[in-house]
Amino acid sequence: MTVECKARELNQDGMVVDFTHIKELVMDRLDHAVINDVIDCNPTAENMARWIVDNVPNCWRCEVQESEGNIAIYEKD
């Protein structure tokens, strides 16, 4: 998985978003979890990418690799 965030200005700590915050929002909630209990839709790679973009502050793009050579990308407009 690749999570891309952007901002016009950095926060007071000099970051777009703290990687620890991304880990808490994404990895801590999805890793070793029943995805259907976390994501309120069909847990396709595409829907997981959209869920990540929608839940991580300043995230505009996410790639989720389902298997080798199969990658779903979701971008905000």
Q: How far, in Å, CA of 1 to CA of 65, rounded? A: 6
CA dist 6 and 59 (Å) reads 6
Q: Is the pLDDT of residue 62 over 90?
A: yes
Contact 59, 53 (CB under 8 A): yes
Domain range summary for the chain, segments of one domain joined by +? 2-7+16-75
Q: Which residues of 39-59 are buried (b: 16+ CB within 10 A; e: fewer)?
A: beeebebbbbbbbbbeebeeb
Q: Which two tokens stand for residue 42?
A: 């069909």
pLDDT tens-digit series, residues 17-48:
999 999 998 988 888 889 889 899 999 999 99
